[in-house]
Amino acid sequence: MSFGQGGPFDGPGGSGTPDWDALAEESEAASRRKRWMLIGGGALAAVAVAGIVTAAVVTSGDSGGGSPTASPTPGQAQEPNDTPSFDDVSVPPPPNPQDYISDPKKDRATLTPATLFPEKSMVIGAHSYPRTNTSTTKDCTAAAQGALGSLLAHNGCSQLLRATYSKGGVSVTIGIAVFDSPAKAAKVRDQYKPNLAPLAGGGVPSSFCVGTGCVTTANAAGRYAYFTIAGNDDGKRVTDTKSKAGQIGRDGGLYAFNRIQQRGKDQAAKAAAAQTQQPQS
C-alpha cells in the first residue's frame, strides 16, 4: 500500500517510517482549533444568554399598555395615594332673564312706574331726555286711542304703564302693556293700529300730539308690548321721521326695550344669588 509522497509516514529517505515531528505538529494544530471552537461557542452562548436576560428585563415590566407597572412583592408596603378626591356636585345653569319677562309665574317683581321707569332721565347714547310725568292704569283702553284700545282689551292687557320724556321742544310718551303670554304681546304688535294716548304734564303742554301729526311705533319683548308716540310740543305736524321728533321717538322705543330687558336681568340675578346661598346636598 502506498500513501503517496509527502505523507506523515514518509520518514527521511522515504523509508515508510512515520514522521513523528509532522504528526506532533498536526496534533497540536488540531488541539488549537478545538480550543478556539470551544471558546467561540462559549462566547456565542454567553451572548445568547445575555440576550435572553436583556429581553426578560425589558418585557417583564410591560403591562400591555406600554407603561411599566410594578407589582409589590409580599411584605412590601404600597405607596399612599395623596391625590385628593372630590364628590361630584351638580351645578344648576344660571337663570335665563328671558324666562322672567315671558312667564307671569316667574315675573313677580313689583311692577309700577317707579320700578319700570326709575331714572329721572332717559339716556340713549349721547342723547338725554328728562322725565316729565308717569302714569299707570289697569284699564288699558283708558290710555289708548283709536283701534289700539280694543286690540289691547281683546288680548287681555292687564296693565298699561306710561312715561313721558321731553327736551328741546319735542316729547315722547312711552307705553308698556302687560299680557299673560308672549304670544298675545306679539299679536298686539303685529296687528297694531294707532295709537297710544300721549301723557302731558311736567312742562309738556296738553296739546302735545292731540289733533296733529305725530310719529308712533309698536313692538314686543317677552309678555310685554311697548309703544311710543312722539311729536312737537308746539303742535306742529311731524313731516320727517329724521327730525328731532323722529329721533326722540326712536330713542323712546329703544329705552322701553332696555327697561323690559333689565327687569328680566334683575330678577334672574336675584334668583342666581338665592341659588348660591342654598346648601349643596
- pLDDT tens digits, one per residue of 233-266: 999 999 998 999 999 999 999 999 999 999 999 9
Neighbouring CB atoms inside 10 A of 52's CB total 10
Q: Convert the pLDDT of each residue in 174-222 to its tens digit.
A: 999 999 999 999 999 999 999 999 999 999 999 999 989 999 999 999 9
The confidence score (pLDDT) of residue 143 equals 98
Cβ atoms of 166 and 232 closer than 8 Å: no
Amino acid at position 171, single letter: S
Q: Is the pLDDT of residue 165 over 60?
A: yes
Cβ atoms < 10 Å from Cβ of 191: 13
**pLDDT number for residue 5:** 43
The better pLDDT of the pair 75, 245 is held by 245
- Local confidence band at 30 (pLDDT 50, 70, 90 cut-offs): low
Residue 148 CB coordination number (10 Å): 28
Q: Does the structure show a pLDDT above 50 at 14?
A: no
The per-residue pLDDT for 241 is 87
- What is the average pLDDT across 10-19? 48
State residue 213's pLDDT score. Answer: 93
Q: Are 146 and 214 in contact (CB under 8 A)?
A: no
The predicted structure's pLDDT at residue 92: 72
Alpha-carbon distance of 260 to 35, in angstroms, equals 105
- Is the pTM of the predicted complex or chain greater than 0.75? no
Mean pLDDT of all residues belonging to the chain: 80
In the predicted structure, residue 82 carries a pLDDT above the cut 90: no
Are 70 and 61 in contact by the 8 Å Cβ rule? The answer is yes
pLDDT at 68: 44
DSSP string, 189-235: HHT--S-BPP--BTTB-TTTTSSS--EEEEEEETTEEEEEEEEETT-
